[in-house]
Amino acid sequence: MSDALLQVRNLRKSFGGLTAVDDVSLEVRRGEVVGLLGDNGAGKSTLIKCVSGVYQPDAGEIVFDGATMTFTTPMDARRHGIETIYQDLALANNLDVGANIFLGREVKKRWLGGLVHTLDDRRMAQQSRVTLDSLQIRFPTLTQPIETLSGGQRQAVAIARAVYWDAKLMIMDEPTNNLGVPEQHKVLELIRTLRDRGVPVVLITHVLPDAFAVTDRVVVMHRGRKVAEKVTAQTNTEELVQYMVGARDDDVAA
Amino acid sequence: MRKTTLAALAAGVAIALASQPTLAADKLKIGFLPGVVDPFYQVMQLGVEKAAKDLGAEVVTQVPPTWGVEAQTPLLDAMVARGDLNYIIIAPVDKDQMVGPLKTAADHGIKIITVDTYLGDGDYVKGPVKFPLSYIGSDNIEGGRIAARGLAKAIGGKGSVYINSTNPNVSSVEGRAVGFKEVMAKEFPDIKVIGPDFNLDDPNKAAQQTAAVLSREPNLAGVFGTNVFSAQGAGTAVVNAGLGGHVQVVAYDATQLAIELMDKGVVSLVLAQKPFDMGYLAVAFAASDAAGVTSLPPRVETGFAIIDKDNVKDPAIARFIYKVK
Amino acid sequence: MTVRGSIVAPAGAHGPGEGSSLKRLALFLSRMWAWLFLAVMVLFFVVAVPLSTGGSVNFLTIRNSQNILVAIVPVLLLGLGQTFVLIAAGIDLSVGWVMSLASVLSALALRDAFNSGAPLPVAVLAGLAAALAGAGVVGFLNGWIIAKLKVPAFIVTLGSSFIVRGVAYLMSENSTVIGLPAGLGAYGNDALIYYISGPGGGVYFLHRPEVGGELLRRMEIILPYPVLATAFVLALIMFLLHKTQFGRHTYAIGGSMDASVRSGIPVDRHVIKVYMLSAATAGVAGFLSTLRFTAGSAVIGDSLLLSSIAAVIIGGVSMFGGAGTVIGTVIGALIIAVLTTGLVMLNVDAFWQFIVVGTVVIVAVLIDQSRDLIIGRQRRGAAQ
């Protein structure tokens, strides 16, 4: 199991009377893209939020990079290298690209023997450009507030932010939502780039073409349970749809 | 006494002006800066403007929207910055805090005449503040005394009375409360004096404060409102409590509302000051000083008209009601 | 690094697909309109005042310029704190009354310190400390209730303004604190430079020269101490807002609370600090007014809240947070002060200033919204 970066074992999470995640286990290995599929309300988001520290699971365990983890806050999970990009991106629209990439972790210059700190804008702009270049993201200017950028460009900024902070595992929730077709391609390309750089990606989506375009394996959830786990190349749309609507169930709880 | 002084001054100014023709061509410019917007100062402004017309002076008037040094000082500063005013006639809104800004104006060569309220202790000859030319206003302590005796008579010499006033550290209303308390203490020991409360020149607050006192003081027999807004507010509160006629109100400042309340039997005594006189005299003093008169009195007390329901219809008295056209 | 709404941003910083030069001009104007309005207004008064007084009064004089600087001190100080709060998508309605409370507290502390034998400079420092401490407590409570108890800022600061007002009245003696040491007026009214023109004149520094008569008449007072103190606070606030992480995080919280929380910014603590900062500037304003009038007044800040908000909005700070600059607030405060002074010099009833300021505020918001419209069109064009 040394290849598995993330292992989720028998995770359970309920809210009041509703069991959102019911005894789910899965595994993410280095260098792969895992698709997490399911219709609305299947429990994908809840599962992910347990892994990224937003929720604490009621039962089960999370093993990351060989060690059992309990994440009490999202920052906890990020510190260990799990970066999550939610649908709303969590970007500050009024700040520019560099400011967003470094949000919360700004680079500072010290003066007067450490008494006074100022923002080292130049260093941050420099680093931003390096990161963006490495992901082959091209922006015409880095100094516009990002609200003037397109949806796909903003996704790219969110990804660049995660990459800069040395994400070991990237979780993306419906990244191609609300994007035009060329931008969707761009985002999928970025996901492949990440995988090639050794950062595995968990891709939550209910858009099957995306799953087929970029994932290595898929896990399907339905009503809180894991109902299928397939190698992408060995399955097809009709089959996955059947799993997603609950017409088929492999009952693969470990 | 006052009439002859005015006549003498006017004659003196006319003679002085006539004998120095070039002075009339160099028009006298005076700034007028009252305390706040109210009928008392509006009548004063009528006096200022009439005198300016009669004596050929130009007046720059600004009225602060609220009572306070932070409202009056910027207007004063702007007037000084104009550089073309020879005199400023002002009702200082605080007898201590306005000394600094007015001294600065005086240093810049502008002569100051205070009306209605004074700086320091009002003695510009021997007191701590000496730079103003003159103080023209009512003898407010005496006014307080008159109010006290009138109220005491109206309530039969015993009971509690309540003072509702406007702002602390203002010479005019301060003097009225002092005179009032003095007489009550010396001449009417059976009367208990409550207050003063400060309504900060807000008639609504005056009404609230008076209403509160009305409801908690069983023996309240009379109220003394120390100026326009205090009297209005207090009178309104008495009417609203249904006590018009049972609780006697003495009002300082003869606004038309105060007179109405007197007709209704709510207010038993109104002390009318003479703001028109204050305004007119102030301008006349400025003109006289500009013409070279050096014997202007440093203090002029303009007196009162005491109005009650017996004389309110008498035209010789009714003319002192504050009517602003 | 740029932030939306920056009045001093270079005009060329636009996205791809720029559109016509007319649009660029419109965008430039929308950012700089407050500057332009101020310039036009000053020009108007420079021309109109001498015309209306037959040449005897001029608008651009040393005395007038210093008057205007002195006049903006309280509004600007309150506006500086309010700028920070508004950028963080909050609002502080208590600043006027915090200023009053600070005035009362500093007067009491000053008087007590001096009467117990402290030398005047020490007593003055005691006054400043009391003002800042009192203001700090109010700011802390405001921020804490807003951040931890999640009560909307409008309500919290409205409620605290009443409480503060009551405390100020109770602690003062009938709303004024007098009996302050005699030499205090110098701290509040003396200036850096005294210039006496003409024969026998000269330039003096720091203390009022002891002259009288004609020389005194010709004396110009340049850069009074309260103005210098305000300039210092202004520089400090500009530094904080534009050069430090604290400022950057303030913009972030105002732009997206969510993003800030998820980025690990300690939002609650930050919000508390922002409200403490706002109260502190009000505290300085109250302290300076005590020095200027040599008395503490529980009513002095009452009318200033709305003017400070007007100055901030005219200056381009968005009511919704995330945008604005300090320079903008300075321009806003200047517009209000120049307007009042100019109207008095024109001998126009100063009440007209309220009508003009109100109109300018509404125009400011309209222009701000129209900017989004212009950018919006560009934004759609930028998608590739």
Tens of pLDDT along chain B (325 residues)?
455 555 555 555 555 444 444 334 468 999 999 999 989 999 999 999 999 999 999 999 999 988 889 889 989 998 998 888 999 999 999 998 899 899 989 988 899 999 999 999 999 999 999 999 999 999 999 999 999 999 999 999 889 999 999 988 899 999 999 999 999 999 999 999 998 988 888 888 899 899 889 888 878 999 999 988 888 888 888 888 888 778 899 999 998 888 888 888 888 899 999 999 999 999 999 999 999 999 999 999 999 899 998 999 899 998 999 988 6
CB contact under 8 Å between C1 and A148, yes or no, is: no
Residues of B (78-107) whose Cβ lies below 8 Å from C: 78-84, 94, 96-97, 100, 104, 107
**CA–CA distance from B101 to each of A158, B69, C218, C294 (Å)?**
59, 10, 17, 11
Same domain, B109 and B8: yes
pLDDT at B13: 53
**Is some CB atom of chain C closer than 8 A to the CB atom of A96?**
yes
Min Cα–Cα distance to chain C from A169, Å: 17
Look at chain A and count its residues.
Answer: 254
Q: Of B113, B112, B114, B132, nearest to B124 (Cα)?
A: B132
The topology under which CATH files domain A1-81+167-254 is Rossmann fold (3.40.50)
pLDDT at C13: 36
What are the boundaries of each domain within chain A?
1-81+167-254, 90-166
CB contact under 8 Å between A96 and C2, yes or no, is: yes
CB contact under 8 Å between B78 and C340, yes or no, is: yes
Residue A94: which of C4, C264, C383 has the nearest Cβ? C4
Classify C343 as helix, strand or coil.
helix
Same domain, B118 and B213: no
Residues of C (299-338) whose Cβ lies below 8 Å from A: 322-323
Locate the chain A residue with the closest alpha carbon to C320.
A94
- Counted across chains A and C, CB pairs separated by less than 8 A come out at 110
Backbone angles phi, psi at B123, to 5 degrees: -95, 100
More confidently predicted of A217 and A2: A217
Whether residue B8 is contained in a domain is answered as: yes
CB contact under 8 Å between C341 and B74, yes or no, is: yes
Residue bearing tokens 């007898």: B95
In chain B, the number of structural domains is 2
> What is the token pair recorded at C145?
């209730």
CA distance A83 to A85: 7
What lies within 8 Å, CB to CB, of B5 at 6+ separation is B297, B300
pLDDT at C206: 83
pLDDT at C298: 87
Interface test with B, best of C299, C306, C340, C349 (most B CBs within 10 A): C299
Q: Are strands B28-33 and C296-297 parallel, antiparallel or unpaired?
A: unpaired
CB contact under 8 Å between B74 and C294, yes or no, is: no
CB contact under 8 Å between B100 and C294, yes or no, is: yes
Residue bearing tokens 């300085």: C284
CB contact under 8 Å between C245 and A141, yes or no, is: no
Same domain, B194 and B281: no
Residue C4: which of A86, A119, A145 has the nearest Cβ? A145
> What is the token pair recorded at B189?
């020991």
CB contact under 8 Å between C2 and A143, yes or no, is: yes
Classify B117 as helix, strand or coil.
coil
**Is some CB atom of chain C closer than 8 A to the CB atom of A141?**
yes
pLDDT at B76: 94
Helix then strand then coil, % of chain B, to nearest 5: 45, 20, 35
Whether residue C23 is contained in a domain is answered as: no
Average pLDDT, chain C: 86
Q: What are C's interface residues with B at a Cβ cutoff of 8 A? A: 53, 56-58, 61, 63-64, 67, 70-71, 74, 173-176, 178, 185, 189, 216-217, 219, 221, 289, 292-295, 297, 299-304, 340-341, 344-345, 347, 349-351, 354
Same domain, B132 and B279: yes
Whether residue B315 is contained in a domain is answered as: no
Min Cα–Cα distance to chain A from C254, Å: 9
CA distance B308 to B317: 10
Same domain, B227 and B264: yes
Q: Tell me the HSE value of C76 on the side-chain side, using a 13 A CA sphere.
A: 28
Min Cα–Cα distance to chain A from C211, Å: 44
Render pLDDT for C56-111 as a digit per residue (tens, 0 to 9).
788 888 888 888 998 899 999 999 999 999 999 999 999 999 999 999 999 999 99
For chain B, count helices (H), then strands (E). 12, 12
pLDDT at B18: 44
Same domain, B76 and B109: yes
**Is some CB atom of chain A closer than 8 A to the CB atom of C258?**
yes
CB contact under 8 Å between A95 and C245, yes or no, is: no
* Cβ atoms within 10 Å, residue C335: 25
Render pLDDT for B156-201 as a digit per residue (tens, 0 to 9).
988 999 999 998 889 999 999 999 999 999 999 999 999 898 888 8
Q: Is it the case that residue A84 has pLDDT exceeding 70?
A: yes
In chain C, the number of structural domains is 1
Q: Of A190, A214, A194, A193, nearest to A204 (Cα)?
A: A214
**CA–CA distance from A34 to each of A7, A38, B45, B290, C144 (Å)?**
13, 13, 86, 96, 43
CA distance C218 to C290: 28
> What is the token pair recorded at A2?
């040394």
What lies within 8 Å, CB to CB, of C221 at 6+ separation is B104, C63, C66, C191, C194
pLDDT at C11: 33
Same domain, B191 and B124: no
Residue C340: which of B70, B74, B100 has the nearest Cβ? B74
Q: Of C295, C292, C288, nearest to C104 (Cα)?
A: C295
Three-state SS string over chain A comes to CCCEEEEEEEEEEEECCEEEEEEEEEEEECCCEEEEECCCCCCHHHHHHHHCCCCCCCEEEEEECCEEECCCCHHHHHHCCEEEECCCCCCCCCEEHHHHHCCCCCCEEEEHHHCEEEECHHHHHHHHHHHHHHCCCCCCCCCCEHHHCCHHHHHHHHHHHHHHCCCCEEEEECCCCCCCHHHHHHHHHHHHHHHHCCCCEEEEECCHHHHHHHCCEEEEEECCEEEEEEEHHHCCHHHHHHHHHCCCCCCCCC
Chain B residues in contact with C295 (beta carbon < 8 A):
94, 96-97, 169
CB contact under 8 Å between B100 and C58, yes or no, is: no
pLDDT at B184: 94
Whether residue C18 is contained in a domain is answered as: no
* Cβ atoms within 10 Å, residue B128: 11
Q: Of B214, B178, B208, nearest to B196 (Cα)?
A: B178
Are A246 and A222 in contact, with CB atoms under 8 Å apart?
Answer: yes
Render pLDDT for A185-221 as a digit per residue (tens, 0 to 9).
888 888 888 888 888 999 998 888 999 999 999 999 9
pLDDT at B143: 93
Residue B195: CATH number of its domain: 3.40.50.2300
Instruction: Please give the DSSP secondary-structure letter assigned to residue B265.
Output: T
Which range of residues forms the domain containing residue B262? 140-272
**Is some CB atom of chain C closer than 8 A to the CB atom of A76?**
no
Residue type, C138: V
> What is the token pair recorded at A213?
């375009």
CA distance C340 to C326: 22
What lies within 8 Å, CB to CB, of B317 at 6+ separation is B305, B307, B311
Whether residue B46 is contained in a domain is answered as: yes
Residue C91: CATH number of its domain: 1.10.3470
Which range of residues forms the domain containing residue C153? 31-44+57-371
**Is some CB atom of chain C closer than 8 A to the CB atom of B70?**
yes
* Alpha helix (H) residue ranges in chain B: 2-19, 21-25, 39-55, 69-82, 99-107, 140-155, 171-187, 203-216, 228-240, 256-263, 275-290, 315-318
Whether residue B182 is contained in a domain is answered as: yes
CA distance A190 to A135: 7
Average pLDDT, chain A: 86
Whether residue B324 is contained in a domain is answered as: no
CB contact under 8 Å between A105 and C379, yes or no, is: no
**Is some CB atom of chain A closer than 8 A to the CB atom of C259?**
yes
Same domain, B266 and B279: no
Same domain, B129 and B169: no
Locate the chain C residue with the closest alpha carbon to A85.
C262
Instruction: Please give the DSSP secondary-structure letter assigned to residue B247.
Output: B
**Which chains contact B through at least 3 pairs of Cβ atoms less than 8 Å apart?**
C
3+ Cβ–Cβ pairs closer than 8 Å linking C and A: yes
Whether residue C10 is contained in a domain is answered as: no
Q: Of C301, C364, C295, nearest to C329 (Cα)?
A: C364
Q: In the predicted model, what is the mean pLDDT of residues A131-155? A: 81
Q: Of C169, C220, C181, C176, nearest to C198 (Cα)?
A: C220
Mean pLDDT, 10 residues at a time, chain C of 384 residues: 41 43 75 87 92 83 88 94 95 95 96 92 95 97 96 96 93 83 84 85 83 80 92 95 94 91 89 97 96 87 87 87 90 90 81 84 82 57 34
Whether residue C297 is contained in a domain is answered as: yes
Residues of C (209-228) whose Cβ lies below 8 Å from A: none
Are B68 and C299 in contact, with CB atoms under 8 Å apart?
Answer: yes
Q: What is the ipTM of this complex?
A: 0.81
Intra-chain end-to-end CA distance of chain A, in Å: 15
CA distance B137 to B173: 12
Interface test with A, best of C243, C248, C260, C318 (most A CBs within 10 A): C248
**Is some CB atom of chain A closer than 8 A to the CB atom of C2?**
yes
Render pLDDT for A13-36 as a digit per residue (tens, 0 to 9).
999 888 889 889 999 998 899 999
DSSP labels, B136-158: EE--HHHHHHHHHHHHHHHHTT-
Residue C245: which of A75, A108, A148 has the nearest Cβ? A108
CB contact under 8 Å between C293 and B97, yes or no, is: yes
